[in-house]
Chain A
Amino acid sequence: MTTTLENINREIIKSYSHSFSEEERINKILDHINDKKQEYSILTKCLNKLGSLLTKITWIDDISTSDEVIISGIIAMGKTSDKHFKKFYSAQRRIYVPKGLFKDDFKEMKKAMDFHIEAVLEVEHIIFDLRKNDDFKKLSSLVDEL
């Protein structure tokens, strides 16, 4: 093969093009990682906020029967959403954990998911079980006498 300027030029152009497309590919991957990180962070924040809001329900005074209907709706929504969150979490983990990605993000998301469902179940227990319990009702009035 004769080394002519034409040949070298052709090879140089090919290499540059290849390096540009490689750079573009890396940039796309990095953008995707950043997008995913942001997506997980938003979901984690939302779940933590939901958990905090749910705990606030137990601090509301004079909960009426119609309030209980609303709370039942919130609890049902929480349980259904939890199933979706769990599916999403498992699917995403299956894709990215074997590649060694987002380990800490998934850990924080799992913590937030646990907090969320714990809050849902705790509110359900407090409003619809504990507060209806006769022994607990008696105890509640005793506490206020102290």
Chain B
Amino acid sequence: MKFFFQKSFISEVKKLLKKNSYKDCETAIIKDIFKLESDDLLAQCMAYRLNPNAKNPIAKLRAGSEQGKSSSYRVYLIAVAIKDNYYFGYIYPKQGVHGKSALKSKEETKIIKNLLNDIKENNVVEVQLNKNKDKICFVSDKKEIFKK
């Protein structure tokens, strides 16, 4: 199982991490998605399939803060699964300053179109968890993507 981020996805996460209310965003992504380490990841995490009868599902995944934590927020991520590769293209929170209630079909289609173009042109970066499994880093140089 391999994970890839679109460059704009990395920028979006960085933007969220700058705000105190989303500071646990990376942790939530790790806990609710990366750490699942399942062969059938999309079946294990909280995910909606956008495209019907699909060989390669386009999914909207949900990640959120832990139970009992003072901050309570959810982020939604749009990803495409091709074989064992998961490509992440967009992230948005439901609440807070960057919160969005829902994406319109037109917006979603545009996001997915961009992601597919970047996948085709190999304009995505492979990422993985570090040894401690608490940070996401680049596969190429093992550097942490989201530094504090």
Contacts and interface: CB of A to CB of B under 8 A. Distances in A.
Mostly, the A contact residues are helix
Interface stretch (A4-12, A19-27, A51-59, A79-87): A51-59
Given A104-B68, A107-B72, A58 B119 contact: no
A38 to B, nearest CB: 17
Nearest to B101: A121
Nearest to A59: B49
Nearest to B82: A146
B116 A108 contact: no
Contacts of B52: 61-63, 131, 140
B48 A126 contact: yes
A26 B52 CA distance: 57
B31 interface: no
Mostly, the B contact residues are mixed
A121 B102 contact: yes
B20 interface: no
A58 B105 contact: no
B64 to A, nearest CB: 8
A118 interface: yes
Nearest to B80: A143
**Interface range on chain B: under 10, 10 to 19, 20 to 34, or 35 or more?**
20 to 34
Interface of A: 51-52, 55, 58-59, 61-63, 104, 107-108, 110-111, 114-115, 118, 121-123, 125-126, 129-131, 133, 135-136, 139-140, 142-144, 146
B116 A143 contact: yes
B132 interface: no
A122 B51 contact: no
24 contacts: A52-B46, A55-B46, A58-B50, A61-B53, A111-B64, A114-B94, A122-B48, A122-B60, A122-B102, A125-B102, A125-B105, A126-B48, A126-B49, A126-B50, A129-B105, A130-B109, A131-B52, A139-B113, A139-B116, A140-B52, A143-B58, A143-B82, A144-B54, A146-B119
A139 B94 contact: no
Contacts of B12: none
A123 B108 CA distance: 14
